[in-house]
Amino acid sequence: MDIKELQKKMMANAKRYGEEFNVPINEEFVVVKIMEEVGEFAEAILRYRKHCRPHKYVSNEEARRMLGEELADIVGIALVGAELFDIDLDLILQEKWVRRGEAL
């Protein structure tokens, strides 16, 4: 599955979420939601490193799973944003990360 196909699937999922919970899936939603997800990723890092209150400690395996889930949420909402703004994220990633990296 390519990134464009993922964008469409993530957007369809976001639309279902929006319909179910009466939440508009728009640019404002994407900005606020990505900030929320980054905060949850930061919290997962604190748990992973055990830099939190002891009652929040989880096993290393559980902490890594939580990190992965929060990172997936960030990527997923970024794909929704790309779809909303009609951005070819695959092309941009190739230009910004792959080709630029090869030039170094």
Q: Say how many domains are in the chain.
A: 1
pLDDT tens by residue, 45-54: 999 999 999 9
Residue 38 pLDDT greater than 80, yes or no: yes
Domain harbouring 19, CATH code: 1.10.287
Domain that holds residue 35: 3-103
Token digits for 17? 């979420």
pLDDT band at residue 104, thresholds of 50, 70 and 90?
low
pLDDT band at 27 (very low <50, low <70, confident <90, very high): very high
**Cβ atoms 93, 3 nearer than 8 A:** yes
